[in-house]
Every structure is written in C-alpha cells, then in structure tokens.
C-alpha cells in the first residue's frame, strides 16, 4: 500500500478506540493498527467490515483533504484499485468520494464472481458492460449481459456478478449513494 488509509481519522471522529473498531469489524487490533499506518494491503472484505462499522461508504476510507475539492480529476492509471481476496474481481474508482455518486470500473476474471453469494445494500446501481459478457445473478434470476448492454436495479435486491466466459469482462458501474 502506497499511503495509509484515513481509517484512524474516521475512527477518531466517531470517538472510537482502536480495539473497539477492531472487535466490531472482526479483525485483530494489531491488524487494524497496521491498516491505519499503511503497513498492510487489507482485503476488500476487511475494508468493507471497517467501513460498515464506521458507517461510511467503502471508498471514504481513501479520502484525503485534496479529495474534498469541488472539482476532482482522476487520471488514468492513478485510480484507487481494490481486489477481492480471491483475485476474481477488481474495482478502480473513477470518481472521487462524494455523498451521492460513486463510479467504478470493474474487471471480472474468467469463471470469477464478485462474491460467493448474492448480497444487498442500500443503493441503486447501473452497470454497463464495456467488454465481454456479464451475468447478474439475483436471489431469484440470472440476467446475461453482452458488450454494450446495461442493467439498472435497486441494490436492496440480493445480487452478485459472474463471468461465465473464458475471457475477462470489463464494466462500468455507477452506485448512488456510494455503498459500503
């Protein structure tokens, strides 16, 4: 990890002690200390747990004072990237952290999925497939999207993304409000 996350600042702003956050997030206090100091590259699931406990969108953990400008340009190749523990899926943040919208560029490896099972969260999403094919699986149905197809849905519906093909799938996803 190139720079520390702003977990410590967010934790302190909430009046939490490190051991309280660690316990609530299901991680060890030493691991949290390493995350706060930028000494480890935590898994996406660890970051999700920390964000849930802090009640902030996941990418809020990466905000710096510079990110709080009214206009922000994200240069290609300079995006924050997160990868699932399995390595099947990665997200590159194309937008800054805002209160209302998050734009991510995703890559899903052949045979991979975004999660082991469908999950839901308080948001609304729109996914646009830019390369390959993507399956959106809900708790009831499967929807197959080809390059150029899009899908807009209420994220409270349990869902996950699957790549059943032999090639990587790339897509853009917009989420409002930013989820965690």
Residue 98 makes CB contacts below 8 A (sequence gap 6+) with 178
User: How large a percentage of the chain has pLDDT more than 70?
Assistant: 89
Q: In what order do the strands lie in the sheet with 142-145?
A: 142-145, 134-138, 159-162
Residue 37, classed as helix, strand or coil, is coil
User: Contact, 131 vs 170, CB < 8 A?
Assistant: yes
Residue 104 confidence (pLDDT): 92
For the whole model, what pTM was predicted?
0.66
Q: Averaged over 85-112, what is the pLDDT?
A: 86
How many helices (H) and strands (E) in the chain?
Answer: 4, 9
**137-164: per-residue pLDDT in tens?**
998 999 999 999 999 999 999 999 999 9
**26-80: per-residue pLDDT in tens?**
999 999 988 888 788 788 888 889 988 998 877 777 765 444 456 677 788 888 8
Calculate the dihedral angle through the C-alpha atoms of 162, 165, 166, 171, rounding to the nearest 10 degrees.
-60
């Amino acid at each position: 990890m190139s720079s520390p996350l702003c977990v410590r600042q967010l934790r302190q702003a909430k009046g939490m002690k490190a051991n309280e956050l660690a316990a609530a997030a299901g991680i060890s206090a030493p691991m949290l200390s390493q995350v706060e100091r930028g000494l480890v590259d935590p898994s996406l699931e660890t970051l999700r747990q920390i964000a849930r406990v802090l009640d902030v969108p996941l990418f809020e953990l990466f905000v710096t004072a510079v990110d709080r400008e009214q206009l922000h340009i994200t240069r290609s190749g300079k995006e924050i990237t997160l990868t699932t523990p399995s390595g099947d899926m990665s997200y590159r943040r194309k937008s800054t952290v805002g209160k209302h919208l998050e734009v991510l560029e995703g890559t899903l490896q052949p045979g991979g999925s975004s999660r082991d099972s469908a999950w839901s969260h308080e948001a609304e999403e729109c996914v646009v497939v830019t390369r390959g094919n993507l399956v959106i699986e809900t708790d009831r149905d499967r929807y197959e999207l080809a390059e150029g197809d899009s899908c807009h849905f209420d994220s409270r519906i349990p869902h996950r993304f699957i790549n059943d093909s032999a090639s990587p799938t790339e897509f853009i996803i917009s989420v409002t409000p930013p989820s965690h």
